Amino acid sequence: MKTISTLKKLIDFYFYFLALGFIIWIIVIPIMFKTGKFNTLDFLDDHDISNLSFGRFMMMILVGAILYYYFLKAIYLLKKSLNDLCNGNYFSELVISNFNEIGKSFLICGIGAAVFKFILRLVFLSDIKLGIDNFLIISIIIGLFFMFLSEVFIKARKAQQENNLTI
């Protein structure tokens, strides 16, 4: 039980840290664009993006924000699920659906980031680079693991219900 409460505290802290980072990001990005310092964002290796048009820049920021949103959503759902898990409701409907959603969010985040990087490289550097990104692999592994965990929990829930109806 100590493990789950420690994990809950850590996830709580991480979620608020990420949310705060998101807010700061929203405030800082327009300032960086105004002052022309957004080249320091390092979107694409060392490629100079200071000559980007406002539209293209905003498109990049928007895609980045969407990916960040999915990551934040996954952490938020994990935080929510941990409340139930801490209370001993291991196989609740909420935990099962949240784990499935977390898995999907991680998959979207990982694959989306890889596609985004691939397109950016193709557009700005006219270069095709196909490689195995650590973030991509880890996101896919975590995503599939959570989706599998959700399926396991469905089976566990059925077993628990049967056990409750064994008199």
Partner 1 sequence: MLAKRKMKSKELAEIIGITTANMSILKSGKAKAIRFSTLEAICKALDCQPSDILEYVKG
Residues of this chain that interact with partner 1 (CB under 8 A) are 161-162, 165-167
Least distance between partner 1 and beta carbon 59 (Å): 56
Q: Which two tokens stand for residue 55?
A: 């539209």
Report the candidate in 148, 22, 129, 114 with the shortest Cα–Cα distance to residue 73: 22
Least distance between partner 1 and beta carbon 122 (Å): 57
Given a contact cutoff of 8 angstroms between Cβ atoms, the answer to whether 153 and 91 are in contact is yes
Least distance between partner 1 and beta carbon 166 (Å): 4
Query: How many angstroms separate the first and last alpha carbons of the chain?
Result: 28
Least distance between partner 1 and beta carbon 164 (Å): 9
Give the residue with the Cβ less far from partner 1, 130 or 165.
Answer: 165
Give the residue with the Cβ less far from partner 1, 53 or 166.
Answer: 166
Give the residue with the Cβ less far from partner 1, 134 or 166.
Answer: 166
Neighbour-count burial of 74, counting CB atoms closer than 10 A to its CB (0-12 exposed, 13-18 middle, 19+ buried): buried
Rounded distance between C-alpha atoms, residue 154 and residue 148, angstroms: 10
> What residues contact 24, with CB distance under 8 A and at least 6 apart?
none
Give the residue with the Cβ less far from partner 1, 4 or 156.
Answer: 156
